[in-house]
Chains A and B, each alone.
Chain A
């Protein structure tokens, strides 16, 4: 178990730009090096019906949240993002901020229950990052320390990439 913990730290930070498929292809390498339980290393990305994404790995229990590329295309040029306060406790489905674009204010709902541990400060200088890189390293919105059992709940209840794609084409 100890080996496993060190291994997780040596890994690059769970980042949203890594697509689920890319991460999976990395996993075997780690397994070879440290021979840990493979499932533990998976970075999971899920989507809400409100067009938010959350990506998290089960070792750190930290989820990164943003709005999807589909949402950003629909909203148009983002001019302002209201961010929540760091350390605030949030419940799944709470409004944790809002995106303003082309005269519309749209709520951002938290996919998960937990604590806001980081907000993307770069967005207050350059809100357009949400348009340019919505699901990547630049355009994420908040990082949440997931509450107990949230990781499992998200995996079960929210849509995966394929499910979300189908949902947006409905």
Chain B
């Protein structure tokens, strides 16, 4: 193998991709291993991965794998598309961000509800959306650098109004207003960091608007992170063409081949194969789909419903707008998505109102913040008027909805009863400590 001097090359394996920018001669010998098995010790500086899966739980877990298992100085571009999903930021409240009744309706039964590991607000993904993610050393973490790279790619495809706003998002600058076409979020760990973002190419904008408008929002006060609403638009360019342009600009921005001979990795990853070779990804997917992650992670919040005012109409209960009696109080304080302080009363009489509050607190304490659970417990409160409770229970049942995801999740045991990677890491630590102890005693 005698590589021609100074010619930067792209090393492609598994499904070879059409190369638009770089030429290469005979690639170095590739060992008969999956690219993910080679990642940890890869000598290459720049890596480009694409996922063929549209499963958001897989793509986010693969991204987390790349973040935590790539060589500390490498830079990675990873692109993927998710099937329809609502994706919340790590510290957000599902009920103030998402229109649960609409999500639970048959029309949207295919939409996933996902909490990601990075910060920021709620976004909606569908097949008309391209996600890009750049993993870098923590030291070179910069909120705008790769957004600018993507803007350059957009410019080269003729989207000249693309620019970056002060919230580090890519927008189309129109006279008098900006239309958001991309939302960014970041995750920083010990030595590494990523910047990932959406790009609206041909998404269903009506779904974004309706699914991300919660009927409970105005009644919830949360200590968590609230989304900032923006007017959105599609960019309308071809996904394949844009992906290739972003890959090209990623290499240019990192001065690929400037120092002479260089290989970059370019790989297309398949869900089945990736899971087969890496348990970490499989376990990450389980965790993301657990109720523990999806719901218990919710920061403390309070739901307070007002008296003498019709409650908002829910999309699956048309025309049903119960009104809490005058002087009513309805406040639920929830920590880790479990009711911790409950105050429900309807009576004018302060003594009886106190009794109602006490009883509702006792009966609802430690109930999960889930529609069916709350409405069931409400119906058991004897001191509250039956008709009010019935209507309110029905409304809350729909507005809050049932929990999705896997109820039973054990971070230390796999489905086959084996120890998970986390459990094995703890074992190793303990053994190491024991050995250390024996050595020091000896």
Contacts and interface: CB of A to CB of B under 8 A. Distances in A.
Interface of A: 49-50, 74-75, 79-80, 82, 91, 98, 100-107, 109, 124-125
B247 interface: no
A153 to B, nearest CB: 12
Nearest to B90: A105
Contacts of B89: 100, 103, 105
Contacts of B117: 105
14 contacts: A80-B224, A100-B90, A100-B119, A103-B119, A103-B184, A104-B118, A104-B187, A105-B89, A105-B91, A105-B187, A105-B188, A106-B187, A106-B189, A107-B188
Nearest to B183: A103
A109 B190 CA distance: 8
B118 A105 contact: yes
Contacts of A98: 90
B110 interface: no
Contacts of B119: 80, 100-105
A91 B428 CA distance: 13
Given A80-B224, A124-B223, A103 B168 contact: yes
Q: Which of A75, A79, A104, A125 has the most C-beta atoms of chain B within 10 angstroms of its own C-beta?
A: A104
Nearest to B116: A105
Interface residues of B, number: 26
B223 A102 contact: no
A125 B223 contact: yes
Contacts of B184: 103
Contacts of A103: 89, 118-121, 143, 167-168, 184-186
B63 interface: no
A106 B188 contact: yes
B223 A100 contact: no
Interface of B: 89-91, 117-121, 141, 143, 167-168, 184-190, 193, 223-225, 299-300, 429
Nearest to A107: B189
A100 B189 contact: no
Contacts, number: 67
A104 B188 contact: yes
Given A91-B429, A98-B90, A109-B190, A104 B225 contact: no
Contacts of A107: 188-190
B142 to A, nearest CB: 10
Contacts of B143: 102-104
Contacts of A80: 91, 119, 223-225, 299
A103 B89 CA distance: 8
A102 B168 contact: yes
Contacts of A82: 91
A79 B186 CA distance: 14
A125 B300 CA distance: 10
B427 to A, nearest CB: 13
A93 to B, nearest CB: 8
A59 B247 CA distance: 56
Q: Which of A101, A103, A109 has the most C-beta atoms of chain B within 10 angstroms of its own C-beta?
A: A103
Nearest to A91: B429
Nearest to B197: A103
A82 B336 CA distance: 12
A125 B224 CA distance: 10
Contacts of A104: 118-120, 143, 185-188, 193
Pairs of residues from A and B, 8 with the lowest C-beta to C-beta distance, nearest first: A104-B186, A103-B120, A106-B188, A105-B119, A100-B119, A80-B91, A103-B185, A105-B90
A98 to B, nearest CB: 7
A168 to B, nearest CB: 10
B300 A124 contact: yes
A102 B225 CA distance: 10
Q: Which of A50, A105, A109, A125 has the most C-beta atoms of chain B within 10 angstroms of its own C-beta?
A: A105
A106 B120 CA distance: 12
Contacts of A109: 190
A33 to B, nearest CB: 38
Contacts of A102: 119, 143, 168, 186
Contacts of A75: 188
